[in-house]
Structure 1
Amino acid sequence: MIKFFPLLFFIFSCSSSKEVTDNSFSVIYKSEMGGTENAGYTLIQNNESYIRFIESLKLDESQYANFLAVDFKKKDVLVLYQGQKNSGGYAIDIESLKNENQTIIIKKKEIMPKKGEITTSVITSPYCIALIPKGKRVVVE
């Protein structure tokens, strides 16, 4: 039994593997116009849904270069909507992302005009499109 102890110790000490989590994200498009009336988000997990979403944006062809081919085996597309606003000066973005046990936790950042700031008098609906790591669940805070 003593002869096997060092071998077992070596096997157990070398076999532990460290889980690598992907905390990277990249915002690929933002706009003050074209979002939804209500605040919220949409998670896109396949190419067919992504193509339908891009076509629904009704953008100029020159803007399509912003939309990359997405490897949906590794990434998902998250669209954050700020909802309809009564003036310009609003925007939405991702402040941070955490990957905890395959739960992707997104902290959003909502930007609004400062009190007294002059803004355009137009109805806006800001949104943001980002590539995020794949996970079993997505939580937006």
Structure 2
Amino acid sequence: MDNEFKTIYVSGYGGDESKGHQIISSYDDLKQEFARLNVPSEVIDNSNIDFKDNVILIAHLGEKNTGGYGIDVEKIEFEEETLIIQTKLSVPEKGGNVTMAITNPFCITIIPKAKKYSVK
């Protein structure tokens, strides 16, 4: 099985208030979710997403009190029929300068289709 993935968009603003994830398996659902998250339409246009073999993972870090937080996919691997997705979280440096604003970090990643998904 293919263990390749490609993050196509990362933002500190506009994600869901709670930590979680979504799996998107159609172009229409993707367009609707991009509109909800205010993702530029060029991101879809430039991604060449093949929904026959791939899906989209949108991983949300949840609401944070300052800037400096982020989430991204670090690695993926198959265990039988389940795709295990390991995320990487970024946190601000202790005592570092951060944006004083409520943020909702998220990332959008193209991943291979699987029967089940586990996001860690």
Provide TM-score, normalisation by structure 1. 0.80
Displacement, 1:64? 2.1
Q: Secondary structure at the match of 1:49?
A: helix
Amino acid at match of 1:104: L
Q: Which has the higher helix share?
A: 1
SS at the partner of 2:16? coil
Instruction: Identify which of 17, 27, 30 aligns with 1:37.
Output: 17
Q: Which residue of 1 aligns with 2:43?
A: 66
Structure 2: how far apart are the matches of 1:99 and 1:135?
Answer: 8
The aligned amino acid for 1:79 is: I
Find the residue that maps to 1:43 and give its secondary structure.
strand
Separation of aligned partners in 1, 2:42 and 2:103:
23
CA distance in 1, matches of 2:74, 2:27: 26
Whole-Å separation in 1 of the counterparts to 2:38 and 2:62 = 18
Alpha-carbon deviation of 1:101? 1.9
Residue aligned with 2:84, SS: strand
**Using the alignment, how far apart are the partners of 2:93 and 2:105 within structure 1?**
17
> In the aligned structure 2, how far is the partner of 1:39 from the partner of 1:58?
18
Deviation at 1:37, TM superposition (A): 0.4
Aligned counterpart, 1:80: 59
Could you say which residue in structure 1 is the equivalent of 2:3? 23
Unaligned stretches of 5+ residues in structure 2: none
Larger Rg over CA atoms = 1
CA RMSD of aligned residues (A): 1.1
Counterpart in 2 of 1:92?
A: 71
1:104 to 68, 83, 94: 83
- What percentage of residue pairs aligned between the two structures are identical? 37
Between structures 1 and 2, the one with greater strand share: 2
- Partners of 2:36 and 2:21 lie apart in 1 by 15
